[in-house]
Structure 1
Amino acid sequence: MKALPNKIVIVGGGSAGWMTACYLARAAELTGSFSQQTLHDQQTRHSAQGCSITLLESSSIPTVGVGEGSTPYLRHFFAYLGVEESTWMEACNATYKMGINFEGWNKSDDSPPSRTPSYFHPFFSALDVPTAEHYFTAVNQRRHGQPSNISESHYFTAAEMVRQNIAPNTIVDSANIDYAYHFDAGLLGEFLKHYATSKGVNHKVGNVTKVPTFNDNIQAIQTDLHGTLHADLFIDCSGFRGILGKKALNRSVTSYADTLFNDAAVAIPTKRSDIIKYQTRSVALRHGWQWNIPLTARTGNGYVYSSRFCSSVQAEQELRSVLDEGTNLKNTPARHLKMQVGRLNTHWAGNCLSIGLSQGFIEPLEATALMLVQYALHHFIDCWQQPIPDTRKHALYNNEMNRMFDGIRDYIAAHYYLNTRNDTPYWVACRNEMKVPDTLAYLLKEWDRGANFEDALNEVDANLVYLRPSWYCIFAGMRRFSPPTGDRVVETLNPHQMLKDILRKMQKPNTETC
């Protein structure tokens, strides 16, 4: 494995900065770039000989710090670091996540609250293969006018585990259940900081004052407290500000604002739930959606909305009104955030790599932010190892990162375009004014005309990040169907009972279903 650059400087802390520091410190350790030495306090840490990593973090600029959900990809991150799941979860007030329940996204004007439609987007596991095939068949029957059972909870392991409140750590390891996490973002940053510094990452607190550049390269970083910092590789983790990539190197941005209208959020925590459900709730509100995320110490809540249709004051009032069910939240402060939705066109060129919010952001609907950080790091290491000229490495990297961002955007956009709400101009605009991405437009056309959806997915496979089960779940969950005309299909098998039987067999001894 090729050694990393001799000297790396990361600008910015937060989740992205410290994830980057951890990942690269571990990669350097695996390449033999780091060696161990014993300190005077008898603790053992790693110090860089062939590779030194410095993280410069501002004391005056706060991190975003409200991200509280992940995809299953995060499991691989901690496995790569060699950190036990129970260790970091306990430190970060983390809970398990089996998927996302979408509530009210296709609510009609006259639907009473008790009848608000919902659907579940599960994480797909190998255990689902037998029953999921029945789901795909049922959905395609429904597409062609035949009434059929298309409830995700009857076909997918994750949905049934949420229904029964079965934690994934009670399932035998051989089942290879796919799952993710909820966590306290602030505590996660602190945990990663401790890991990185224990591996020899040099932590400096200060601000960037000037960044002299030449072509695509940063010559150095001038700081207020630490003089001039030189490096072979500079990594921009400075968030939406993009101190290195956007500002110093003037890298161009592709905006998603004409497709994804949400550009702001407000967050208010509430007390811990008595019963922790292993799911994120995404509840459609008047001008966007509310997240509800259970942690062991509190519940995370937020409202992601479009400032074109709703002011920050109105958004906070609406969020407080849906949260304040017998609980006085007047003294609980709200945190307001602005979002820049889009991506850089060039993520890596010369000696500067942009990671995290500095390279792009797609709103938090499917909790993909940390996944993109992790994927960007993994892909960087892969490209760095290639025995090809740097310009080709950069091209490979940038093309793949742009594909990832655009592919996630396509799936996120589907949630809004498929809504059937007419209660506010916001939801109507999501259908009528959105610039529909080409891949999504093609899948919609093929779905609506009754074509073979498997063939349609295969046709655009190179553009997809979300795969077959996810696309079926969102199209069916949002009820993208004409009214049924045929007789109800008689099921010869009971997929839901099959699913329950599979789960019962896969539970570890001495564990019970809640």
Structure 2
Amino acid sequence: MKNIVIVGGGTAGWMSALVMAREWIQQGVSIRVIESPDIGIIGVGEGSTPALKLFFDRLNIAESEWMPACNATYKCGIRFDGWSTHAGFESYFHPFSAALDRQTLPMFMHNAQMRLRGADVYAQPDRFFIAARLAQQCLAPVAPEHFPFDVHYGYHFDSTLLGQFLRKKALALGVIHESAHVVAVQQRENGDIASVQLADERIIAADFFVDCTGFSSLLLQQTLQVPFISYANNLLNNAAVAMPSVIGEKIPSQTLATAMSCGWAWQIPLTNRYGNGYVYSADFCSADQAETELRAHLGLLDADVPVRHLKMKVGRVKQHWAHNCLAVGLAQGFIEPLEATALFLVQQTVAIFAECFARGEFTNRLQAEFNQRMNNHFDGVRDYIVTHYKTSSRRDTDYWCANTANQQDVSPVMLELYRSWYAGKDLAAEINRLQLGNYYPAPSWYSIFTGMGIVPKGEQLRRATAEEACFDIAAVDEFLRRCSLNFNDHRALLMRWQLSG
């Protein structure tokens, strides 16, 4: 292998180029990115999981360098508003983990288990996690050196600026950039891709190709005819509308996901604006109706703001690596951005491919293993996203009723997990047994079930025994309050970096 051609830029293309350059460019491998100047970046959602920090750490790129360049902010987790109608559970926070959680997580899981068995103990997740406390106070989740507990966190960012930043870093490593449009693809007799033809009639040949051409999937799906497996049967959303709004003095350190009549709205804080959007099902409302509802939600009914309407193809390919082609990003699949997993799946795809390709001596010997691992990742994320809709108690529109009634293609593993929860079994043990922790750990599952109010309530509760109510929630509040005193105001920290830069 001497030549790799990546067709398509954006975050997926340039992230792929950086990982591959780090692995192979010093071994004499040429890496070229062909990026069309005519195709914009979709950038649905502008958030990440903590995996993005690992990506930058491995490249030795400091937050003080890339975050100001991308208008980036910190993300402690996601707040879900309006997904549940149960009293006391109308809103909950899904946190990223922290070392400090070792002190409070056992209390939360104990209370959740006892509440599930009918004991009247506090089990809403927000008051048990430092991440929720930091987000509530608009604090940055960066622990000072004198505080011995790290907090895991993600980021919010301008996806267009992030793609441009990654491009500069890749070019500095020796990646070749072609600003050109691919108009044709040529194959060898064995089905492999031989070359691509550019609009200026040049032919670019390579040993291996990476498809980052978005939903069109020019190489993998159009040329190699790899089937696409739709998730539309159990994820109804297939469109989105996005628009910016003004951000105030305080910069939140959380993503906000608010349930709407036919989907949900995101609000993502950047240093210079809010990124807002409405992910909805076009089977239940039109694009104009969605835009009007989002404008009303944001108080922008008469405002002159730029608006983007997007279509989403939700699902995954059957094979992410076929012949001598790997698909990354939207070209391989997409799951609605409810848990900001798009960039995480890009990272997983490229990292696992680099490992399998090298371990297989740069042949397709481990292709089947790679594809199975990636399919498991996509299906695991899908199952967690589906759980948001299965646990929601909203029934106020046809859309929410359809989500509740829809039982198509719910995986057997998920059905087993749901039964275990309702039966009051030890959910952590069930998650381990079902191997679900590979995609979302036990605290995430406990958070969604209890946060949505899927626990006994009101007359269903009995007085807790001393053993069941062995933790003092007021003491937990005080412990986390004092811990939060070690963290800085979010905007103040970000502005300090911008001024120093």
Aligned-partner Cα distance in 1 for 2:151–2:89: 30
Q: Which of the numbers 45, 49, 58 marks the counterpart of 2:36?
A: 58
Residue 116 and residue 443 in structure 1: after superposition, are their counterparts in 2 closer, same or farther (change >3 A)? closer
Corresponding residue of 1:375:
348
* Aligned AA (1:337): L
Say if 2:259 is the partner of 1:263.
no
Any idea what SS the aligned residue of 2:215 has?
helix
- After superposition, where does 1:30-41 map in structure 2 within 5 Å? 32-33=26-27
Say if 2:291 is the partner of 1:291.
no
The TM-score, its normalising length taken from structure 2, stands at: 0.92
The TM-score, its normalising length taken from structure 1, stands at: 0.89
Say if 2:9 is the partner of 1:13.
yes
How many residue pairs end up in the alignment?
484
Structure 1 contact 128–157 (Cα < 8 Å) conserved = yes
Corresponding residue of 2:495:
none
* Aligned AA (2:11): S
- After superposition, where does 1:45-444 map in structure 2 within 5 Å? 50-107=28-85, 117-172=90-145, 174-214=148-188, 215-225=190-200, 227-324=202-299, 329-387=302-360, 390-435=363-408, 436-444=410-418
- After superposition, where does 1:409-488 map in structure 2 within 5 Å? 409-435=382-408, 436-461=410-435, 464-483=438-457, 484-488=460-464
* Aligned AA (2:179): V
CA displacement, residues 456-494 of structure 1 (integer Å, 9 cap, x when unaligned): 212211685111000000011111123333114554443
Say if 2:22 is the partner of 1:26.
yes
Q: CA deviation at 1:497?
A: 3.4
Aligned-partner Cα distance in 2 for 1:489–1:310: 49
Structure 1 contact 273–294 (Cα < 8 Å) conserved = no
Aligned-partner Cα distance in 1 for 2:305–2:80: 26
Aligned-partner Cα distance in 2 for 1:474–1:235: 36
Structure 2 contact 133–480 (Cα < 8 Å) conserved = no
Any idea what SS the aligned residue of 2:319 has?
coil
CA displacement, residues 279-323 of structure 1 (integer Å, 9 cap, x when unaligned): 000000000000011110000100000001011010001000111
Structure 1 contact 74–371 (Cα < 8 Å) conserved = yes
Residue 19 and residue 151 in structure 1: after superposition, are their counterparts in 2 closer, same or farther (change >3 A)? same
Any idea what SS the aligned residue of 2:53 has?
helix
Superposition RMSD on alpha carbons, in Å?
Answer: 2.2
Say if 2:472 is the partner of 1:494.
yes
Aligned-partner Cα distance in 1 for 2:483–2:449: 31
Residue 330 and residue 154 in structure 1: after superposition, are their counterparts in 2 closer, same or farther (change >3 A)? closer
Aligned-partner Cα distance in 1 for 2:318–2:168: 33
Task: Indicate the percent of aligned positions where both proteins have the same amino acid.
Answer: 42
* Aligned AA (1:445): R
Aligned-partner Cα distance in 2 for 1:62–1:54: 19
* Aligned AA (2:450): A
Structure 1 contact 147–489 (Cα < 8 Å) conserved = no
Residue 198 and residue 499 in structure 1: after superposition, are their counterparts in 2 closer, same or farther (change >3 A)? farther
Structure 2 contact 380–436 (Cα < 8 Å) conserved = no
Residue 100 and residue 179 in structure 1: after superposition, are their counterparts in 2 closer, same or farther (change >3 A)? same
171-180 or 470-479, which deviates more: 171-180
Q: CA deviation at 1:455?
A: 2.8
Structure 1 contact 439–463 (Cα < 8 Å) conserved = no
Q: CA deviation at 1:500?
A: 4.8
Aligned-partner Cα distance in 2 for 1:177–1:116: 25
CA displacement, residues 190-225 of structure 1 (integer Å, 9 cap, x when unaligned): 111111112221111111111122444101111112
* Aligned AA (2:214): G
Structure 1 contact 148–489 (Cα < 8 Å) conserved = no
Q: CA deviation at 1:333?
A: 2.2
Structure 2 runs not aligned, ≥5 long: 493-501
Residue 497 and residue 87 in structure 1: after superposition, are their counterparts in 2 closer, same or farther (change >3 A)? farther
Q: CA deviation at 1:402?
A: 0.2
Structure 2 contact 89–124 (Cα < 8 Å) conserved = no
Residue 475 and residue 218 in structure 1: after superposition, are their counterparts in 2 closer, same or farther (change >3 A)? same
* Aligned AA (1:134): M
